[in-house]
Structure 1
């Protein structure tokens, strides 16, 4: 990367890419073309954006497998591991409950499905659907790598087979392997050391991909403006507004209130979470953003590494207040209003139940169609309603993912504060131009977390190996399950 570009803070690069993406999308629309015959600029934007997403999806399977195994192993020497895990799950559920209640309230107040301007001709059942039976069946791995294959035929009759991965199955496999490795004991130490080493390599590659985020932003946002424009957004204007109002309320009201109630500075929370929030907005992938989210939790919030390396990967696969609470709640009400179906108290309780319990169905990857169809099928609403909303889904997904990662960074900080293991000096420390606390910041030696060696290692650029004596001299700080330090000028 040119040295001049390296001197520009990453956050500034992303913001500039957002503006450039919108501008190029407007230019592409002015050049003409159609969905079947797009112009050269539209094709270029689409290629750039889809390539960035493909790279993120490629790195997700090994990231899930290695991160979950390492996160489980990281708790093996922690005396209160069960309590930390239980507290984490509890606060995941509490924030999901609050979020879905906000979503239901906004749906009833704004009434997005009434006079929406969307043509009923757009109603169609999506190819990807969710149901409780399918959700339970998907928990049973079909093979060790969680791979699935699908075959399709083009207009000429030629068959094409595509491989994909099932994130839920990968999570189940990783949990089983991680628990087994912990139970095996000393004999599993070489395997766990290999897993942590492999995770560092994967994280290094992921950071290279993340550095392409400004370029990916230009392509993704530019293609979204070209493909959907403001006309489509206008037809679903009330729906789009309802979703983003809900996301703003959760991110800038609910989360700050929770931070304040636990004695944490709201300003420090918002500025500290910003690096992960902006990348989540661009990448539309909680798993792709996970290394930066974990670095936020450790470096900015002072969460001990042994806990952050468990809570953040776990949250990246199950904590989805945007995708699994706000979005399905408002969408279900939209579909019901559009088709003239009256919802009762039982229906709203079912929506709440699905949002709190079923968020693992989204599995941390881009998109929330599975969660939406799971909600609609549970309530008994027509799945054809999903087709009405797909046009603006990429635009909504940006805000949903940003909200997801904001919560995924906050909950570990709250639990650590409640358990008196949070490094408050680091939490309140000033952030640098790159959005992170200075790696040389040592904190207050009297704080509980400052006595925790792993947290200090994560901040200082050293990385303890299995016996606590090794250092990472590769230039970028890389901890088990954490993000590399962005290259400095």
Structure 2
């Protein structure tokens, strides 16, 4: 049974999971029950979905720290490292500017907040707020591990303490350690080697979690259908449509135009980035998808390993065209229209500023509530508007993350092309059923570590191994 399942392509597994999730959600609604007394199927779907998200969140903290340290270390022997980093930041900002402009345009044209039919009683102040002061304060680590503890009491008065991580603080800590290790020099080599080997182990565990993505999709989507139903989702139909139109414009128009403008094939871009897009869609986590995104950049796009291992992890925490540009722009306009608040040109400029500058607040995990509240508070809109949009957030988060990871793979390819370090032969080679360069075009290292997205091979033992065909380009740079 298991061997037969492994022969089914991962894309087919995901599509089947989407269909089953909707079907189970509909069945659970017809079985009755409510929020206070859910039926057994609803509880099962919620448990499956929340467990998958918990597993991803568990692996994110060590992944952030190890990936950022390793990415900084990978550039220590590159003469044009500062230029590569600068170009990466510039193109992150350019694509974010384009995406947020599209979001504002669609919000003004579609007007999703007008006559939406949403029940005003669903407005609720979110538990997590984003503000510029909180954003700046969160950059300063409160402890070495970037952990925060919270204590709560249940109905019986029993106290429980839970730990959570601050992704921004983890990034700051990792950058400081990575830069310090590079500055120390030779004596830090054992530490950097240990960091790389530990990262390989963490990536191996992450691959095991990734294989559960179809099962997690059934739980997440089924629970969303059960919890909110088609009536609530339908009331936000214009808003959902506006978001997905914006995401489609960025993914299928803006990104292809950028590839064509740099002399790259748009068709090869789509076929090459598909493994990361489909996994991002079901996992709803840029960090969880990062190993696949990095392999896409190296194996399919011909981006040198030393640059991909920096740009992709960095992009997975800060490059969010879906979560930090399209979504907050349209959401802010929705909230303004719903509460009858007129926005002026200054407000729209503030939305653009937040999207281009503050995207690090999303930090690569599931959801974009922090970025949305940061945008609303900056423009002066009521934060209660966040509660109006929660019903469709899981549905939106799938498309947002898929767009995010596509951009995180695109920018390294564009910068590599501009710097003359891309392997164009690798970029233009045909892809196999797994979405990666077909075996006869791979190096022996690629073949040994082929990503198991079609059920035909084991997951990679070392996700950042450099393809042989890119080695010459890496050395030349």
Q: Normalised by the shorter chain, which TM-score bucket?
A: over 0.9
Correspondence list, 1:7-86, <5 A: 7-86=7-86
CA distance in 1 between counterparts of 2:424 and 2:36 reads 56
For residues 259-278 of structure 1, the C-alpha deviation after alignment (integer angstroms, 9 at most, x for no partner) is 11111111111111111111
Shifted more, 376-385 versus 151-160: the winner is 151-160
1:459 aligns with 2:443: no
1:259 aligns with 2:246: no
Partner in structure 2 of residue 250 of structure 1: 250
CA distance in 1 between counterparts of 2:82 and 2:465 reads 20
Offset of residue 438 of structure 1: 2.8
For the Cα contact (< 8 Å) 2:294–2:464, is it kept in 1? no
For the Cα contact (< 8 Å) 2:291–2:463, is it kept in 1? no
Distance 1:440 1:309, change over 3 A: farther
Shifted more, 54-63 versus 28-37: the winner is 28-37
For residues 59-103 of structure 1, the C-alpha deviation after alignment (integer angstroms, 9 at most, x for no partner) is 000000000000000000111101110110000000000000000
Partner in structure 2 of residue 135 of structure 1: 135
Q: Structure 2: which 5+ residue stretches go unaligned?
A: 451-457, 468-477
For the Cα contact (< 8 Å) 2:204–2:459, is it kept in 1? no
Partner in structure 2 of residue 90 of structure 1: 90
CA distance in 2 between counterparts of 1:303 and 1:254 reads 21
For the Cα contact (< 8 Å) 1:458–1:477, is it kept in 2? no
CA distance in 1 between counterparts of 2:147 and 2:369 reads 20
Q: What secondary structure does 2:150 align onto?
A: strand
1:283 aligns with 2:271: no
Distance 1:376 1:195, change over 3 A: same
CA distance in 1 between counterparts of 2:445 and 2:100 reads 35
Partner in structure 2 of residue 405 of structure 1: 405
For the Cα contact (< 8 Å) 1:299–1:439, is it kept in 2? no
Q: Structure 1: which 5+ residue stretches go unaligned?
A: 443-455, 464-473, 484-489
Partner in structure 2 of residue 449 of structure 1: none
CA distance in 2 between counterparts of 1:475 and 1:2 reads 16
For the Cα contact (< 8 Å) 1:103–1:325, is it kept in 2? yes
Correspondence list, 1:161-200, <5 A: 161-200=161-200
Offset of residue 157 of structure 1: 2.3
CA distance in 2 between counterparts of 1:363 and 1:152 reads 25
Partner in structure 2 of residue 476 of structure 1: 460
Distance 1:52 1:45, change over 3 A: same
TM-score (norm 1): 0.91
Q: What secondary structure does 1:320 align onto?
A: coil
Q: What secondary structure does 1:383 align onto?
A: coil
CA distance in 2 between counterparts of 1:16 and 1:9 reads 11
CA distance in 2 between counterparts of 1:256 and 1:475 reads 30
For the Cα contact (< 8 Å) 1:291–1:482, is it kept in 2? no
Q: What secondary structure does 2:91 align onto?
A: helix
TM-score (norm 2): 0.94
For residues 102-138 of structure 1, the C-alpha deviation after alignment (integer angstroms, 9 at most, x for no partner) is 0000000011111111121111210100000000000
Q: What secondary structure does 1:397 align onto?
A: helix
Offset of residue 475 of structure 1: 7.7
CA distance in 1 between counterparts of 2:465 and 2:182 reads 17
CA distance in 2 between counterparts of 1:76 and 1:479 reads 20
Offset of residue 14 of structure 1: 1.1
For the Cα contact (< 8 Å) 1:67–1:481, is it kept in 2? no
For residues 416-458 of structure 1, the C-alpha deviation after alignment (integer angstroms, 9 at most, x for no partner) is 111111111111111111111135525xxxxxxxxxxxxx686
CA distance in 1 between counterparts of 2:184 and 2:444 reads 27
For the Cα contact (< 8 Å) 2:449–2:459, is it kept in 1? no
Q: What secondary structure does 1:215 align onto?
A: helix
Partner in structure 2 of residue 450 of structure 1: none
For the Cα contact (< 8 Å) 1:196–1:480, is it kept in 2? no
For residues 122-180 of structure 1, the C-alpha deviation after alignment (integer angstroms, 9 at most, x for no partner) is 11210100000000000000111100011122222222211100000000000000000
Offset of residue 476 of structure 1: 3.0
CA distance in 2 between counterparts of 1:8 and 1:236 reads 35
Q: What secondary structure does 1:391 align onto?
A: helix
Distance 1:440 1:178, change over 3 A: farther
